[in-house]
Structure 1
């Protein structure tokens, strides 16, 4: 069983997956910072700083000053605002990731085109002007 485990770990797919997970974690931190520190403040500027996270409804009808107070009191709460903010953040993050993937794909396509240009064989040289004229002369003689 130990040998099977060694073979499993030594396969390239496992290492690729590990690298993908590590890079994904780092990428998540970058995207979260981009959205939280750059994009959300710009959106808040245009929306007047609306924060939906304070919107909540207690199911038992009790009144609380804030969502945190209602949750601390143990009241059953519909945290509608937190859900709305999660959806908005998801849409923003999804759009940012879409733009990043689109940019990476463009860079890949450009690199592939450059490789194709470099690998394309040169067109075989055609006959020179003199050779064409000699062929015409020979054809006219016949």
Structure 2
């Protein structure tokens, strides 16, 4: 059972997932700090010094903390937008790399074709021009 677990845990997909989770956690902390320490204080200043996350409404003993909910919604949109930008940048790099690979393949194919043409022309010249020509004797 231990050997099976080691095989599973050391597969590329599992390791990639683990790295992704760790990086995602760190990225989440960065975005949370951006929201809590930079963006929301500016929003609070624009709203006249109000701290959104502290806003609430009381119904007797029940407290409706709509400010915390709004804070979470703002966090979500900023995190979503940040991830969108990050994925967009990665996609551009990936697309550029794929285009470079296609260009390299095209160059290799062109070179190979040119070498084949050169070899055929060389063979034709050595054979006295007989290769690739047809004489039509039958005219019907």
Length-normalised TM-score, structure 1: 0.62
CA contact (8 A) 2:56 2:65 kept: yes
- Relative CO higher for 1 or 2, CA cutoff 8 Å, sep ≥ 6? 1
Where in structure 1 are there 5+ consecutive unaligned residues? 61-74, 132-142
- Aligned equivalents of 1:44, 1:119: Cα separation in 2: 56
How far did residue 42 of structure 1 move? 5.0
The runs of 4+ residues in structure 1 deviating greater than 4 Å are 41-50
* Match for residue 102 of structure 1 among 88, 108, 112: 88
Could you tell me which residue of structure 2 aligns to residue 64 of structure 1? Answer: none
How far did residue 8 of structure 1 move? 2.4
CA contact (8 A) 2:53 2:71 kept: yes
Q: How many pairs were matched up?
A: 116
1:117–1:31 CA distance, 2 compared to 1 (3 A): farther
Could you tell me which residue of structure 2 aligns to residue 66 of structure 1? Answer: none
Q: Does 1:93 align with 2:93?
A: no
Matches within 5 A, 1:71-82: 75-82=61-68
How far did residue 107 of structure 1 move? 1.7
How far did residue 79 of structure 1 move? 0.5
- Aligned equivalents of 2:98, 2:42: Cα separation in 1: 36
Question: Cα RMSD between the aligned structures?
Answer: 3.1
Where in structure 2 are there 5+ consecutive unaligned residues? 122-140
